[in-house]
Chains A and B, each alone.
Chain A
Amino acid sequence: MSTTGNGIPRRRGKRLAASAAGIAAVALTLAACGGGDSGIGGGGDEPPPAAEECPCEIRFSWWGSDTRHASTQEIIEAFEAENPDITVVPDFTDWDGYWDKLATSVAAGDTPDVITMEERYISDYATKSVLADLGSLEIDTSKVDDGVLAGGQIDGTQYGIPTGINAYALVADPELFADAGVDVPDDTTWTWEDYVATANAVSEGAGDDVWGTQDYGFNEAGLNVMARQRGESLFTPEGELGVSEETIADFFQVSLDLMEGGGQPDAARTVEYQAAGPEGGLLGTNQGAMGVWWTNQLGALSESSGHELELLRLPGETEGERTGMYYKPAMFYSASADTEYPQAAAKFVDFMLNSQEAAEIMLTDRGLPANTEVREAVLGDLPPTEQKVAEFMADIEDEIVDTPPVPPHGSAELADIMERINTEVLFERITPEEAATQLIEEVNAAIAG
């Protein structure tokens, strides 16, 4: 669960050249700043773009695995075949290096024309005028659900268009449930207490080295769902923290109850499984019957476990005031506010969002396609696990109340804060109540700064 909503382990791997990159960034920035303010974040008073701007070359940046690089390259070729006067230069890296590289490029005044964005970072970039208002460009968003589209809006401006959607859900391994002699719970009615009891029962019944569930406390998405079930929200539309101390304490208490009842491993093991990503976690290694993951991680989880895994609603959906689950934009397509070729950039975004051809290559690699029309069209082509995801997403559609607002500027730090505080709770160095106070304090400091 230490992953982004896109199945990529967060903050893992090497950064040998980090300091060098920082130094280079700094040097380049100084050079860029020498010429006045125009280099960074400008574009406000530029004249409107000329109608005929191409032939031209635009750069598209994204993160991901090798499969995504290969499929994206194919999409670029398809786009170029349709638009021979536009050349798209690929600019890709793994998730670990992506944000360092992007920040450095922006600092150097070399922002990619089309940028892949993510929920945690979009506010940072939007409020610093790095991103263009996509509403003013020619991109057809009529096939995207309004609620989903709103996920890319800040103060009414469309800074990003969702590529696709994911949901934060409970993944269960029916085989391990059967081994333990426990029934897979009815996810339409189960409560958080049921969840703890179920996990404890599985651990009890399954014997050594198999646990009921993997700890969920490292990811703020779970806290958001619990908050929403209680009529709160992790962040308010005004960009403030909207979750109560009580909810946060209850959220962490679930982990402690699970550890005490044996439903999840001891703290040190939990930290280790957490770091091992979906493949190395409890579900992936057949050592746990449940885990909370993003729906697009089902494929990776199923593959490494070799079992047929099921998607369940998170507990508590019928327990509180309202349901808490939501569609999360997997990523966003954004454009640079400084791009020389806004029309070409818009054309490319439009192609990736709306073209049948692009969708057939991409499938669900950037989430279940946000464009509902192409989503329908590619359903038949999907592998079984992806079809399961699509079905699950359709099942919960009517229950979803709304899309959470875009997290405020500075919220990128929340992931690290969560991870740190959850570790302290698991090792029982602080109580859930202290954790709640500390979380609120640290997040407020992060979003204020």
Chain B
Amino acid sequence: MSVIQELSRSRRSASPRKKGDGRWALFFLAPWFAGLALITAGPMGASLYLSFTDYDLLSAPQWVGLENYTRMFEDPRLLKSLGVTFTYVFVSVPLQLAAALGLALLLDKGMRGLALYRSVYYLPSLLGGSVAIAILWRQIFGADGLVNQVLALFGVQGQGWVSHPDYALDTLMALNVWTFGAPMVIFLAGLRQIPQMYYEAASIDGASRWRQFRSITVPLLTPIIFFNLVLQLIEAFQSFTRAFVVSGGNGGPSDSTLLYTLYLYLKGFGSLDMGYASAMAWFLLLIIGGMTVVNFLASKYWVFYDD
């Protein structure tokens, strides 16, 4: 409940809305609602039902109550996949946002050819989820790949990064950090919103660049940082394609890249344990939901709404 209160508080504190805005909002949201109702809702209901069954796809589902959920607590590979996923999310998302903010600050200087740079840096975000890039990633971080060739120039003998259990996840996280384009564009928009007069006033008072960044840019940008954080966390929890392709489909080497969604897929289609996989999907929803609630609650202490 408090999340909703929190949300509505921040809305109310924004500029007063004109009458009829709500109706327009609904109008523009209509296609999304239609999609939800027609495409998503049915399967979601089905998967909720299946999560309480033993279902192998080949024969009819058998009701087993909560068994799939209780089995999760005794599944060492599930714990392993949670560990991998949390590492992936909590290491790569902050780094990705830092990279996005850093580049947004650079691009905000209004240099020549800004549109070009913006597009170039945004490109990885468009490509990053693709299979082609994941395959390329395998090559770059392979034993004889680009990274090691560059290292060899400096006399360093590199590892087979993607195929070593200690480093494979790092390459995946690097891939996630590299796709900083989407949050970067949002940061750029946010930076443009900050009135120039604050900076003018600050520099008249003799504030350094760093001081201006800390005391003007960051506080005024917190709503944007918060927005990006929520979005990227949710997205990172659901990462699948990269791990699937880079690991060759099994989360290897030795489960080091076994993201939760990948394990879910392996359970559903590899072991034909679709009931368990459905339960895992709902558990993931709970995790993401919980994480988002915590995020909103914590935002009270650090997010600053200007108006």
Enumerate chain A interface residues (CB-CB to B < 8 A). Answer: 2, 10-16, 18-19, 22-27, 29-30, 33, 37, 39-41, 96, 99-100, 103-104, 106-107, 124-125, 128-130, 266-272, 275, 410, 412-413, 416, 419-420, 423-424, 427, 429, 446, 449
Name the B residues within 8 Å of A11 (CB-CB). 248-250
Q: A272 to B162, Cβ gap below 8 A?
A: yes
- Which chain A residues lie closer than 8 Å to B245 at the CB level? 13-14
With A19-B265, A275-B163: A30-B46 Cβ-Cβ less than 8 Å:
yes
Residues of B within 8 A of A419 (CB): 250, 252
A427 and B162 contact, CB distance less than 8 A:
no
Partner of A40, one of B60, B241, B277: B60
Residues of B with C-beta under 8 A to A27 = 42-43, 46
Within 8 Å of chain A (Cβ to Cβ): is B197? Answer: no
Closest-by-CB residue of B relative to A97 is: B269
Assuming A11-B248, A272-B163, is B61 touching A420 (CB within 8 A)? Answer: no
Evaluate contact between B270 and A423: CB separation under 8 angstroms: no
Report how far A446 CA is from B272 CA in the complex, Å. 11
CB distance from B46 to the nearest CB of A (A): 4
Determine which residue in A22, A25, A420, A446 has the highest number of CB atoms from chain B within 10 A of its CB, and name it. A22
Task: Please give the number of chain B residues whose Cβ is less than 8 angstroms from any Cβ of chain A in the complex.
Answer: 47
Bound together, the chains give a CA A40 to CA B55 distance in angstroms of: 12
B52, chain A: closest CB distance, angstroms? 13
Across the interface, name the chain B residue whose C-beta is closest to A16: B241
* Nearest B-chain residue to A106, judged by Cβ: B58
Selected contact of A103 from candidates B43, B61, B269, CB within 8 Å: B269
Q: Tell me how far the C-beta of A238 lies from the nearest C-beta in chain B, rounded to whole angstroms.
A: 21
CB distance from A375 to the nearest CB of B (A): 33
| A420 x B57 contact (CB < 8 A) | no
Cβ-neighbour of A2 out of B44, B159, B248 (below 8 A): B248
Tell me if B143 counts as interface (CB < 8 A to partner A). yes
Instruction: Tell whether A15 pairs with B244 under 8 Å between CB atoms, given A23-B43, A420-B250.
Output: yes
Q: Are the C-beta atoms of B249 and A12 separated by less than 8 Å?
A: yes
List which B151-206 residues lie within 8 A (CB) of chain A: 159-160, 162-165
A14, B131: Cβ atoms closer than 8 Å:
yes
Q: Is B272 in contact with A100, judged by CB distance below 8 angstroms?
A: no
**B254 close to A (CB within 8 Å):** yes
By beta carbon, the residue of chain A nearest B56 is: A128
Residues in A neighbouring B121, C-beta threshold 8 A: none
**Residue in contact with A423 in the complex, picked from B47, B131, B244, B253, CB distance below 8 Å:** B253
* B142 surroundings in chain A (CB, below 8 A): 272
A14 lies within 8 A of B255 (CB) = no
In the complex, A100 Cα to B43 Cα: how many Å?
17
Tell whether, in the assembled complex, residue B58 and residue A103 are in contact, meaning their CB atoms are under 8 Å apart. yes
Contact status A103-B244, CB under 8 Å: no
B43, B59, B272: the one contacting A26 at CB < 8 Å is B43
Is B49 interfacial (CB-CB < 8 Å)? Answer: yes
B112–chain A nearest beta-carbon distance, Å: 38
Within 8 A of A (CB), among B257-307: 261, 265-266, 268-274, 277-278
Taken together as a complex, chains A and B put the C-alpha atoms of A404 and B169 apart, in Å, by 39
The residue on A at minimum CB distance from B58 is A128
Centre residue among B131, B160, B248, B268 by max chain A CB count within 10 A? B248
Which residues of A have CB within 8 Å of B265? 15, 18-19, 22
Least distance between B27 CB and chain A CB atoms (Å) = 28
Q: Find A420's partner among B49, B59, B254 (CB 8 Å cutoff).
A: B254
Chain A residues within an 8 Å CB radius of B59 = 40-41, 128-129
Q: How far is the CB of A210 from chain B (nearest CB, A)?
A: 14
CB-defined contacts of B165 to chain A, threshold 8 Å: 423, 427, 429
B240 within 8 A of A: yes
A275 touches B277 (CB 8 A): no
Q: With the chains together, A26 CA to B56 CA distance in Å? A: 11
The reply to whether B244 and A14 form a contact with Cβ atoms under 8 Å apart is yes
Leading 6 A-B pairs by shortest Cβ distance:
A268-B160, A11-B249, A271-B163, A23-B43, A128-B58, A423-B254
A11–B42 Cα distance when bound, in Å, is 29
Q: Contact between A23 and B46 (Cβ–Cβ < 8 Å)?
A: yes
Determine how close the nearest CB of chain B comes to the CB of A337; give it in whole angstroms. Answer: 11
Contact B61 A29 (CB under 8 A): yes
| CB-based contact B269/A99 at 8 Å | yes
Indicate if the CB atoms of B269 and A22 lie closer than 8 Å: yes
Question: Quick one: given A100-B269, A271-B160, are A22 and B60 in contact (CB under 8 Å)?
Answer: no
B residues in contact with A99, CB < 8 Å: 269
Q: Are B248 and A106 in contact (CB under 8 A)?
A: no
How far apart are the CA atoms of A73 and B143 in the complex, in Å? 41
Say yes or no: is B50 at the interface (Cβ < 8 Å to chain A). yes
Residues of A within 8 A of B261 (CB): 19
Q: Contact at B143–A269, with CB atoms within 8 Å?
A: yes
